[in-house]
Amino acid sequence: MRLSPTVQTLKPSATIAAAAKAKELAAQGVNVYEFTLGEPDFITPVHIREAAKEAMDAGHTHYTPSSGIPALKQAICAAAKRDHGLEYEPSQVVVSNGAKHSIHNVLTALCGPGDEVIISTPYWVSYSALVELTGATPVLVETTLESGFCLQPDQFAAAVTPNTRLLMLNNPCNPTGAAYPVETLEGLAAVAVEKGIPVLSDEIYEKLIYEGSEFRSFASLSPEAKDLTIIVSGVSKAYAMTGWRIGWTLAPPDLTKAMDKLQSQQTSNPCSVSQHAAVTALNGPQECVTEMLTEFRTRRKYVLSRLKEIPGLRFADPGGAFYAFFNVSEYFGKPLGENAVVVNNSSDFCTALLEDAHVALVTGDAFGAPGYVRLSFATSMDILESGLDRLAKFLNP
């Protein structure tokens, strides 16, 4: 069949593709050390699973309002108030099938051909692809290891043109783990307000913050910043609920109405049972979040100490999320692993590492950062220990 130009040029998600490749090898009986997908290895906490079972038994198995059930919208507003001091009304919430869907809704509601969307590199794989789906153009602005991979206010200001429709900000950031200092956020907000540019603030990793870093929601910087902010968040990462597919936006009412209309035509509503589970995640005890964070903290410390022992790797310590993002270009052009493979870019590096050492990482090329690779430490200590042993040996055989 003849495919539309839109899908012909659309790239598949590189993170999902890398995970699929690792699973394919594992299905052949190979013991693969898997660090590709950014998803917590924990099963969803038991009280949330119980809430889902109760919801099913109570008959919550029907269509829901397209933008989500009132109880979940209220829980999302209450969490925004509790965690960030933010006042939102349920009429400012759209619940979607995961935060990825929320981002798609925002972009579809705001952007079209001729528009520009500013994205700082390294960026999460789906950002540029979702912008391109709307016909708008991603304007990539490079951040550096030296600036901790944080977009600087002057860079933002310089990238704005009359066609700029949106800044996409991800704090803490996937893939770099960068957690923005409050002063940098304030500087970015000042530019956004001065130039009247809306900001999609993807705060899905808001609960995963480590020592020495802090989290500030972009909407909490000033009332003027809040009016321009679209917060994207969800339960996937903080509550280990990736498979339930619940994300949301907190946005000005007019944009919220537009996204509700869009969603009513696209998907009717997010899964009813998952919505009830998400209510319990947000309103229930929060110890599960702290427990998982404690585990991530231990793993992060271990991974960073191991990476620091390997000569030539360059990286910034991640302040949030669960990724280590490091530069391996020092190893290009040198014989690597048992088979003395020579590679000259991150994609070939990841392929060789998987084939030779059975360690699966995601290439930085997918995030607009050649020379880098991403390791997700949302996996067990056992796998991290063996996988890092194998990475170290592959690099210095």
Residues found near ligand PMP in the complex (CB under 6 A): 38, 98-100, 124, 170, 174, 202, 204, 234, 236, 242, 247
Picked from ligand GLU, ligand PMP, none, the partner binding residue 92 (CB below 5 to 8 A depending on kind) is none
Rounded to a whole number of angstroms, the minimum distance from the CB of residue 315 to ligand GLU is 17
DSSP SS3 for 34? strand
Comparison of 88 and 124: residue with beta carbon closer to ligand GLU = 124
Tokens found for residue 22: 């690792």
**What is the C-alpha to C-alpha distance for residues 292 and 45, in angstroms, rounded to an integer?**
10
Binding of ligand GLU at residue 101 (CB under 6 A)? no
**What is the C-alpha to C-alpha distance for residues 382 and 396, in angstroms, rounded to an integer?**
21
Contact 126, 176 (CB under 8 A): no
Position of minimal CB gap to ligand PMP: 98
Tell me the Cα Rg of the chain.
Answer: 21
Comparison of 73 and 358: residue with beta carbon closer to ligand PMP = 73
Picked from ligand PMP, ligand GLU, none, the partner binding residue 172 (CB below 5 to 8 A depending on kind) is none
Binding of ligand GLU at residue 174 (CB under 6 A)? yes
Picked from ligand GLU, ligand PMP, none, the partner binding residue 37 (CB below 5 to 8 A depending on kind) is ligand GLU
Picked from ligand GLU, ligand PMP, none, the partner binding residue 247 (CB below 5 to 8 A depending on kind) is ligand PMP
Rounded to a whole number of angstroms, the minimum distance from the CB of residue 38 to ligand PMP is 5
Q: Which residue type does 81 have?
A: K
Comparison of 104 and 226: residue with beta carbon closer to ligand GLU = 104
Comparison of 124 and 296: residue with beta carbon closer to ligand GLU = 124
Binding of ligand GLU at residue 13 (CB under 6 A)? yes
Picked from ligand PMP, ligand GLU, none, the partner binding residue 319 (CB below 5 to 8 A depending on kind) is none
Of residues 52, 76, 92, 100, which one binds ligand GLU by CB under 6 A? 100
CB count, 10 Å around CB of 154? 10
Rounded to a whole number of angstroms, the minimum distance from the CB of residue 333 to ligand PMP is 32
Do β-strands 164-170 and 199-202 pair in parallel, antiparallel, or remain unpaired? parallel
Binding marks (x or -) toward ligand GLU, 76..95, rule CB under 6 A?
Answer: --------------------
Picked from ligand PMP, ligand GLU, none, the partner binding residue 152 (CB below 5 to 8 A depending on kind) is none
Comparison of 210 and 325: residue with beta carbon closer to ligand GLU = 325
**What is the C-alpha to C-alpha distance for residues 337 and 340, in angstroms, rounded to an integer?**
5
Rounded to a whole number of angstroms, the minimum distance from the CB of residue 290 to ligand PMP is 21
**What is the C-alpha to C-alpha distance for residues 184 and 8, in angstroms, rounded to an integer?**
38
Q: Which residue type does 115 have?
A: D
Binding of ligand GLU at residue 306 (CB under 6 A)? no
Q: 160-189 as b/e, with b when 16 or more CB fall inside 10 Å?
A: beeebbbbbbbbbbbbbbbbbeeebbbbbb
Give me the count of residues in the chain: 397
Comparison of 13 and 267: residue with beta carbon closer to ligand GLU = 13
Binding of ligand GLU at residue 16 (CB under 6 A)? yes
**What is the C-alpha to C-alpha distance for residues 114 and 152, in angstroms, rounded to an integer?**
25
Picked from ligand PMP, ligand GLU, none, the partner binding residue 234 (CB below 5 to 8 A depending on kind) is ligand PMP
Comparison of 67 and 174: residue with beta carbon closer to ligand PMP = 174
| Ranges assigned E (strand) in the chain | 33-34, 93-96, 116-121, 137-142, 164-170, 199-202, 229-234, 247-250, 314-315, 323-327, 359-360, 362-363, 372-376
Contact 79, 289 (CB under 8 A): no
Binding marks (x or -) toward ligand GLU, 19..38, rule CB under 6 A?
Answer: ------------------xx
* Own/partner pairs, 327-330, CB within 8 angstroms, 24+ separation: 327/145, 327/364, 327/371, 327/372, 328/371, 328/372, 328/373, 328/395, 329/371
Binding of ligand GLU at residue 366 (CB under 6 A)? no
Q: Which residue type does 313 have?
A: L
Interacting residues with ligand GLU (CB under 6 A): 13, 15-16, 37-39, 100, 124-126, 174
